Amino acid sequence: MIQTPYLLFLGDAPDQLAAKVAQGIKDWRPENAVGQFRMEGCKADMGLADMSLKEAKAAGAKTLVIGVANRGGIISQEWKKVLVMALEEGFDLASGLHNLLREEADLVAVAEATGQQLHDVRIPDVDYPIANGIKRKGKRVLAVGTDCSVGKMYAALCLDKAMQERGLKATFRATGQTGILITGGGVPLDAVIADFMAGSVEWLTPDNDDDHWDIIEGQGSLFHVSYSGVTMALIHGGQPDALVVCHEPTRDHMRGLPGYSLPSIKQVEDMALTLAQVANPNCKVIGYAINTQHMPEADAKAYLAEVEAKHGKPATDPYRFGSDALVDALADMT
Amino acid sequence: MIQTPYLLFLGDAPDQLAAKVAQGIKDWRPENAVGQFRMEGCKADMGLADMSLKEAKAAGAKTLVIGVANRGGIISQEWKKVLVMALEEGFDLASGLHNLLREEADLVAVAEATGQQLHDVRIPDVDYPIANGIKRKGKRVLAVGTDCSVGKMYAALCLDKAMQERGLKATFRATGQTGILITGGGVPLDAVIADFMAGSVEWLTPDNDDDHWDIIEGQGSLFHVSYSGVTMALIHGGQPDALVVCHEPTRDHMRGLPGYSLPSIKQVEDMALTLAQVANPNCKVIGYAINTQHMPEADAKAYLAEVEAKHGKPATDPYRFGSDALVDALADMT
């Protein structure tokens, strides 16, 4: 686990989009973000207090999180000056970049000298078991998508937030780098060795109270030929009791695969449910999380009504219109 | 690629079963096996000439293959004496053990000094790409199973042999350690990092002649919760034109999963075909490879007739009764 709270490092971000990780932390775990650290020329702003390292330390920050991706995902010399100073000030560092902190000899040397931790959430730091398929206590809901990047993480975080607000027992379980940095822990599933994928998901979602829900972040899609194996491991390792099908209606082909059209919601629902019932015969689809960010509000609402009418279960854009109907369905199951 | 032919190292194998890898090489690539090397107390015998290292070298052997697994999969001190001598005699070493050759400092030192290669086929030695899903030339057939270890590798090797005998263009594509040692190359799919699984299968089965068949060794099962992600990557990365469904009729639960019953042949066929058609809309199931080793011949033949009648496609035990009907079906597709 990464120590919280964080100081968010925005570096020399060329625009707001480049600071996606920082944005996620600020949106979903604002209590984890003490302030932001921006270098000269930084074009991103989380609306947090700009702090020096010393100020952030005094305010209680324990880890400097690299909340920005620069071109090529590398750690630049300009960044390093700040990172080295942060270690010397007593911060741990956390990063989801492909260029690992531990690959940089100078950072490793300073971390050792200062006794601070380098957290590379890009790759696992646990020896996961092979999945045993044994039924676990507690409940689990998994987001599955018609495609990659259709809003599965946001849907899961929305559910988590809504359940916390209702006083229900729930834990968001991160399976990707951004989710891990947001919450401080999880499994970087895309970097796990094939044989241990499903086992890592079992490890992430252990026995729990009967009325506790693990809200498992989805990855990939059963219909995305590059990443479907990862999705499969989530379905079997997660042994979900409930599935939420996620979809982005304006996309004209699978992400990164120009020749591949998206499956229908129905196709994903049927396939995911059949496979999920191998591990959990009682699994059911409780509804649909539709990412309507590219649709005007009236169109979005009409589309959601259409999905509900067609499939007979609640459909919402949980980020835009809330997730009450989905939370109701989960609450009904415990 | 591992240099052939081999001297098969049987070590101090406690029984014939422990020498499964050597047996596979001897059964499927006898031309790759110059002889066998047995230590005192060895209880396995491939029926090959017993040779000293010098004799095998003189007979043309280039690689000493560890054809045996001892308890715990470790490289013992007794073995090491032979392995060091083999390197000094000018052999490369190849092993599929979890205990890697490269983890043994003494073997590494001698290999460097002698300029010989250490091949650990347990883990990949290639940086595989992420799958791009682009349609490739040539044909591919994939073995999919109702469970793990139901005979998918043997089915694929039988098809390969029968196709070679008919003069058809075919290549067996190994995706597991035993298959890699048998043929000298392949992808150790269970050890590939999640994001690159499907890409490694694309890499393994590249563009080829229109009338060439890649015969892809299957792994796991879509219905085996521990390994289904690997199977999924084979189906999408392999973009098969043809599927052969493999089954072992006497098994009473999924391998290693006592609470899990086997799916029906029909369930596997429907699921695998639907998923395969995402990557290759023309994919079809051509027939069934049934592992009848635990059934008397009359029962086996009755069972095969029953499967054929029920599913309307050829069913055979390719190892016991040949694979003509399956090869006919493949030949008809080119």
B232 and A231 within 8 Å at the Cβ level: the answer is: yes
Instruction: Give the span between the Cα atoms of A200 and A127, in whole angstroms.
Output: 9
Find the helix packing angle between B324-332 and B152-165, rounded to 10°.
70
Residue A277's closest CA among B150, B250, B236, B261?
B261
B275 and A228 within 8 Å at the Cβ level: the answer is: yes
Task: Please check the confidence at residue B224 and state whether its pLDDT lies above 90.
Answer: yes
pLDDT given for residue B70 in this prediction: 74
pTM: 0.95
Identify the residue among B140, B270, B278 best suited for mutation to test binding to A, counting A beta carbons within 10 A and taking the highest.
B278
Instruction: Give the span between the Cα atoms of B171 and B4, in whole angstroms.
Output: 17
Nearest to A226 among B189, B198, B230 (CB): B198
Question: Closest chain A residue to B262 measured between Cα atoms?
Answer: A278
Q: A52 φ, ψ to 5°? A: -75, 170
DSSP letter, residue A149: T
Task: Please check the confidence at residue A71 and state whether its pLDDT lies above 80.
Answer: no
A229 and B236 within 8 Å at the Cβ level: the answer is: yes
Determine the 3-state secondary structure of A68 from DSSP. coil
A198 and B223 within 8 Å at the Cβ level: the answer is: no
Mean pLDDT over the full length of chain B = 97
Determine the 3-state secondary structure of A285 from DSSP. strand
Which strands sit side by side in the sheet containing A63-66, from one edge to the other? A33-38, A6-11, A63-66, A92-95, A118-120
pLDDT given for residue B73 in this prediction: 76
Tell me the two tokens of residue B202: 């694309």
A278 and B223 within 8 Å at the Cβ level: the answer is: yes
In degrees, rounded to 5, the angle at the alpha carbon of residue A230 between the alpha carbons of residues A224 and A236 is: 115
A232 and B237 within 8 Å at the Cβ level: the answer is: no
Segment B98-118, tens digit of pLDDT: 999 999 999 999 999 999 999
Dihedral (C-alpha) A317, A318, A319, A324: value to the nearest 10 degrees?
Answer: 130
Tell me the two tokens of residue B231: 């199977």
Q: Match 């979903």 to its residue by tokens.
A: A28
Tell me the two tokens of residue B9: 């190292």
Predicted confidence band at A36 (pLDDT cuts at 50, 70, 90)? very high
Task: Please check the confidence at residue A230 and state whether its pLDDT lies above 90.
Answer: yes
A195 and B257 within 8 Å at the Cβ level: the answer is: no
By the CB < 8 Å criterion, does A77 face chain B?
no
Contact assessment for residue A62 and residue A32, using Cβ atoms and an 8 Å cutoff: no
Collect all residues of chain B within an 8 Å Cβ-Cβ radius of residue A257.
132-133
By the CB < 8 Å criterion, does A271 face chain B?
yes
Q: Span B64-78, mean pLDDT?
A: 88
Give A89→chain B minimum CA distance, Å.
36
Task: Please check the confidence at residue B176 and state whether its pLDDT lies above 80.
Answer: yes
Q: Span B130-151, mean pLDDT?
A: 97
Instruction: Give the span between the Cα atoms of A166 and A168, in whole angstroms.
Output: 5
| Secondary structure percentages of chain A, helix, strand, coil, to 5 | 40, 20, 40
Half-sphere exposure of A334 (CA within 13 A, CB side): 21
Q: Match 């989905």 to its residue by tokens.
A: A326
Nearest to B226 among A193, A198, A226 (CB): A198
Give B136→chain A minimum CA distance, Å.
13
B232 and A228 within 8 Å at the Cβ level: the answer is: yes
Contact residues for B315 (Cβ-Cβ < 8 A; gap 6+): B287, B288, B289, B290, B304, B305, B307, B308
Residue B143's closest CA among B174, B187, B168?
B174
Nearest to B230 among A132, A229, A260 (CB): A229
Q: What is the amino acid identity at position A297?
A: E
In degrees, rounded to 5, the angle at the alpha carbon of residue B25 between the alpha carbons of residues B24 and B26 is: 90
Which strands sit side by side in the sheet containing B212-216, from one edge to the other? B169-173, B212-216, B139-145, B242-247, B284-290, B315-316
pLDDT given for residue A73 in this prediction: 76
Collect all residues of chain B within an 8 Å Cβ-Cβ radius of residue A220.
none
Instruction: Give the span between the Cα atoms of A225 and A255, in whole angstroms.
Output: 10
pLDDT given for residue A70 in this prediction: 74
Question: Closest chain A residue to B272 measured between Cα atoms?
Answer: A271
Segment A259-283, tens digit of pLDDT: 999 999 999 999 999 999 999 999 9
Instruction: Give the span between the Cα atoms of B16 and A63, in whole angstroms.
Output: 56
Instruction: Report chain B's terminal Cα–Cα distance, integer Å.
Output: 29
Using CA atoms, how far residue A286 sits from A143, A211, A245, B33, in Å, is: 11, 17, 8, 58
A194 and B198 within 8 Å at the Cβ level: the answer is: no
pLDDT given for residue B241 in this prediction: 98
A191 and B193 within 8 Å at the Cβ level: the answer is: yes
Task: Please check the confidence at residue B276 and state whether its pLDDT lies above 80.
Answer: yes
pLDDT given for residue B278 in this prediction: 98
Q: A145 φ, ψ to 5°? A: -125, 160
Q: Is beta strand A63-66 parallel, antiparallel or unpaired with respect to B63-66?
A: unpaired
Q: Is beta strand A6-11 parallel, antiparallel or unpaired with respect to A33-38?
A: parallel
Contact assessment for residue A234 and residue A141, using Cβ atoms and an 8 Å cutoff: no
Contact assessment for residue B272 and residue B286, using Cβ atoms and an 8 Å cutoff: no
Beta bridge partners of B50: B36
Give B220→chain A minimum CA distance, Å.
10
Contact assessment for residue B219 and residue A207, using Cβ atoms and an 8 Å cutoff: no
Contact assessment for residue B130 and residue B199, using Cβ atoms and an 8 Å cutoff: yes
Using CA atoms, how far residue B56 sits from B6, B91, B185, in Å, is: 9, 10, 22
Complex confidence, ipTM:
0.94
Collect all residues of chain A within an 8 Å Cβ-Cβ radius of residue B225.
131, 133, 198, 236-237, 239, 278-279
By the CB < 8 Å criterion, does B228 face chain A?
yes
pLDDT given for residue B327 in this prediction: 98
Q: Span B138-159, mean pLDDT?
A: 97
Instruction: Please confirm whether the linkage preceding A5 is cis (ω < 30° from 0).
Output: yes
Helix residue ranges, H only, B89-129: 105-114
Give A189→chain B minimum CA distance, Å.
7
pLDDT given for residue A64 in this prediction: 98
Collect all residues of chain B within an 8 Å Cβ-Cβ radius of residue A237.
225
Query: Percent of chain A scored above 90 by pLDDT?
Result: 97
pLDDT given for residue A223 in this prediction: 98
Instruction: Give the span between the Cα atoms of B141 and B245, in whole angstroms.
Output: 11
Which strands sit side by side in the sheet containing B6-11, from one edge to the other? B33-38, B6-11, B63-66, B92-95, B118-120
pLDDT given for residue A72 in this prediction: 72
Q: Span B266-290, mean pLDDT?
A: 98
Collect all residues of chain A within an 8 Å Cβ-Cβ radius of residue B232.
222, 228-229, 231-232
Mean pLDDT over the full length of chain A = 97
Q: Span B319-332, mean pLDDT?
A: 97
Give B269→chain A minimum CA distance, Å.
13
pLDDT given for residue B74 in this prediction: 85
Question: Closest chain A residue to B234 measured between Cα atoms?
Answer: A229
Determine the 3-state secondary structure of B152 from DSSP. helix
A275 and B193 within 8 Å at the Cβ level: the answer is: no
Give B196→chain A minimum CA distance, Å.
8
Instruction: Give the span between the Cα atoms of A64 and B199, in whole angstroms.
Output: 35
Q: Span A42-65, mean pLDDT?
A: 98
Q: Span A125-144, mean pLDDT?
A: 97
Query: Percent of chain B scored above 90 by pLDDT?
Result: 97
pLDDT given for residue B236 in this prediction: 98
Collect all residues of chain B within an 8 Å Cβ-Cβ radius of residue A195.
190-191, 226-227, 230
Collect all residues of chain B within an 8 Å Cβ-Cβ radius of residue A192.
193-194
Tell me the two tokens of residue B87: 């390197």
Q: Match 């539709």 to its residue by tokens.
A: A290
Q: How many Cβ pairs within 8 Å bridge chains A and B?
A: 129
